Structure 1
Amino acid sequence: MRFGFDIDDTLINLREFAFHLYNEKLNENVELSVFKALKTIEIHEAFGLDKEAGGKMWNSLAEEVYYSSCPAFDGAVETLQELEKNGHEIYYITARKAEHGERTKNWMIENGFPVKDDHFFCGMKDHEKIHTINRLELDYYFDDKPAVLETLLDIPTKVYAIDNSYNRELDIPRLASWFELKELISE
């Protein structure tokens, strides 16, 4: 089978990692429960920042957020390694800017994700992911972002939302843990 995966907040816990960095850099102590209740992908509101200040904060921390010790979600690396071991094809489809492509791919490899050069797609806008997903004829695709998921509702690929507070309004099958994937594909 062919599996497609978004990266940020699908395979790696990027927003929560950034949330902890914001607390540290702003010398704040905003509770994790505030983060877990956010209805937006952006995290700046939890710190009382407006969109402009939040954007500046994110950009100032981008290097540290994207390329340091951001953890994978529990079971993500092992699940993808097992899929590859069992002969499945794994594709990464990320809206990270193209200039982050090679470094992101290398970071993924260094952190244990099975990555092949020709199975890594980067630099598209959210609404453009559908074209790559259709062209690859994926059997399954996993993402967290409502703006992406809403474009994929009428395609043959089985699409799953990675459960987050900001995407629970979507009526779409979801995955709450990477340990659920084995059971899901055996159905």
Structure 2
Amino acid sequence: MKLGFDIDDTLINLREHAFHIYNQKLGQNVGLDVFHALPSMEIHSAFGLTKEEGGKLWHSLRDEIYYSDCATFPHAREALNQLVAKGHEVYYITARAKEHTDRTRQWLLDNGFPVAEGHFFCGMSDSEKVHIIEQLELDYYFDDKPTVLATLSHLPIQICVKDRSYNRHLTLPRITSWEELPRLMQG
């Protein structure tokens, strides 16, 4: 089978990592309970920032957020390595900006994710992901972002959502832990 995975907030806990960095940089101590209750992807409102202020802060900290010690979700790396060991093809499809392509691919490799040649796609907009997913003729695709998942509904693919506070309204097959992946794939 061919399986596609978003990276940020699907395989790695990027927003929570950024939340900790925001607390540190802004000298605040906003609790994780606030993070886990956020109804949207953006974290700036938890810190009293406007959308514009939040965008500027994210941009100024992007390298630190992306390439420091961001945790993978438990069992994500192991689940993907098991898929590859069983002969499945794993593809990464991320909307990170194009200038982050090489460093993101290397970060995945350095952190033990299986990245085969030609199986890593980076530098497209969220709306362009659908074209890559369609061209790859994936059997499964995993993402956290509701707007991305909505663009895939017309494809003959099993779409799965990585459980996050901002996507709980979706009625798609949901993965809360990567340990669930084998069960989810069995139907």
3-state secondary structure, aligned to 1:166: helix
Which aligned pairs between 1:1-187 and structure 2 lie closer than 5 A? 1-187=1-187
Deviation at 1:159, TM superposition (A): 0.3
3-state secondary structure, aligned to 1:90: strand
Aligned equivalents of 1:24 and 1:137: distance in 2? 43
Aligned equivalents of 1:34 and 1:153: distance in 2? 31
Aligned equivalents of 1:63 and 1:131: distance in 2? 27
Q: Which moved more, 1:135-144 or 1:171-180?
A: 171-180
Number of residue pairs the alignment of both structures matches: 187
Deviation at 1:154, TM superposition (A): 2.1
3-state secondary structure, aligned to 1:65: helix
Structure 1 runs (4+) deviating above 6 angstroms are none
3-state secondary structure, aligned to 1:91: strand
Amino acid at match of 2:73: F
Aligned equivalents of 2:170 and 2:121: distance in 1? 25
Q: TM-score, normalised by structure 1?
A: 0.98
Aligned equivalents of 1:104 and 1:32: distance in 2? 26
Aligned equivalents of 2:137 and 2:82: distance in 1? 21
3-state secondary structure, aligned to 1:147: helix
Structure 1 portions without partners, runs of 5+: none
3-state secondary structure, aligned to 2:167: coil
User: What RMSD, in angstroms, separates the aligned Cα atoms of the two structures?
Assistant: 0.7
3-state secondary structure, aligned to 1:30: coil
Q: TM-score, normalised by structure 2?
A: 0.98
Structure 2 portions without partners, runs of 5+: none
What's the CA shift string for 1:88-116, capped at 9, x where partnerless? 00000000011100100000000000002
Amino acid at match of 1:112: G
Amino acid at match of 2:49: L
Aligned equivalents of 1:131 and 1:184: distance in 2? 25
